[in-house]
């Protein structure tokens, strides 16, 4: 390392996203909102996509590099319009964060055939088709990073919290990540996954406000707590940036030690 280099220079070289374009789905709240913010703060133009345009607009008012886009990720026309807008306005798409998702019922007996299929459509299938659209538009010689957001529920059973359809969708995300990494690696498209542990978001509504379930999280997490706001953002920034340029097909677990116990 050059002794005249400064920490900001090194951080910019490794983690800077200036002139890059990113898409974050499910960006209107929770972890997705944080992902959009951190990528924008690192210099990227971020197309923040979700169904709740009012929330995205408020987010964009706080961050001038965030572009709000109403998008239902289960609608192929919306997915196409999202990718087309990136290329039409910015001429490129360098980072895709497939974050959109929702929970399902906790008990298998409560699952219906349509409900199971609908949840997979949001949590798994939509991200696959969006990744394919992004890969199809990538010019030859250009590199890109696709980051799929899974869950500890995709790695281990978390009964009585979790759910069969949700577990199946998040485990599927991990298998899909490995397969797409293998298929697209020689094209310069890296595909990795992030596995969040327990964070206090809309997806886990009531988990931390209930004394019994909050104690369950603390008891079964090596760090004896849930994740704090922002504690997973660094993993997404790392995978989006040149700091992870030799990583693909990888699952990065950010769970306070939940799955290592």
Q: What domains are there in the chain, each with its CATH number?
A: 7-196+232-254 (3.40.50.720)
Q: Per mean pLDDT, which range of 29-38, 72-81, 106-115, 158-167 is the poorest?
A: 158-167
pLDDT of residue 1: 43
CA pair distance 95, 98, nearest whole angstrom: 10
Q: Which two tokens stand for residue 51?
A: 């169904």
Taking only the tens place, the pLDDT of each residue in 28-39 is 999 999 999 999
Residues tagged active-site: 166
Strand segments (E) across the chain: 21-25, 45-50, 66-70, 95-98, 144-149, 189-196, 251-254
Decide which of 1 and 230 is more confident.
230
| Inter-residue contact 202 to 233 (CB < 8 Å) | no
Decide which of 160 and 36 is more confident.
36
Q: Residue 97: beta bridge partners?
A: 24, 147
- Residues shown for the chain: 261
* Percentage of the chain lying above the pLDDT 90 cut: 87
> Phi and psi at residue 67, in whole multiples of 5°?
-110, 115
Model confidence, pTM: 0.94
Q: Using pLDDT thresholds of 50, 70 and 90, give the confidence band for residue 3.
A: low
pLDDT of residue 235: 98
Taking only the tens place, the pLDDT of each residue in 162-216 is 799 999 999 999 999 999 999 999 999 999 999 999 998 877 777 887 888 889 8
């Amino acid at each position: 390392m050059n002794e005249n280099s400064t920490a900001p220079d090194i951080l910019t070289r490794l983690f800077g996203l200036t002139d890059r374009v990113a898409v974050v789905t499910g960006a209107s709240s929770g972890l997705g909102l944080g992902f959009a913010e951190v990528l924008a703060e690192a210099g990227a133009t971020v197309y923040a996509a979700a169904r709740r345009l009012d929330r995205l607009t408020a987010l964009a008012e706080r961050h001038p590099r965030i572009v709000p886009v109403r998008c239902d990720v289960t609608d192929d026309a919306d997915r196409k319009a999202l990718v087309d807008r990136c290329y039409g306005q910015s001429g490129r798409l360098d980072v895709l964060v497939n974050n959109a998702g929702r929970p399902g019922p906790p008990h298998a007996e409560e699952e219906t055939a349509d409900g199971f299929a609908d949840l997979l459509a949001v949590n798994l299938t939509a991200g696959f088709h969006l990744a394919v659209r992004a890969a199809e538009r990538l010019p030859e010689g250009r590199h890109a990073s696709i980051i799929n957001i899974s869950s500890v529920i995709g790695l281990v059973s978390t009964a009585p919290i979790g759910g069969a359809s949700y577990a199946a969708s998040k485990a599927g995300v991990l298998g899909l990540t490995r397969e797409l990494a293998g298929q697209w690696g020689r094209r310069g498209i890296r595909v990795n996954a992030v596995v969040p542990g327990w964070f206090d978001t809309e997806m886990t509504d009531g988990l931390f406000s209930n004394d019994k379930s909050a104690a369950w999280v603390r008891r079964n997490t090596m760090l004896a707590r849930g994740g704090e706001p922002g504690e997973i953002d660094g993993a997404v920034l790392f995978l989006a940036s040149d700091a992870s340029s030799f990583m693909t097909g990888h699952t990065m677990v950010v769970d306070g030690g939940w799955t290592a116990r």
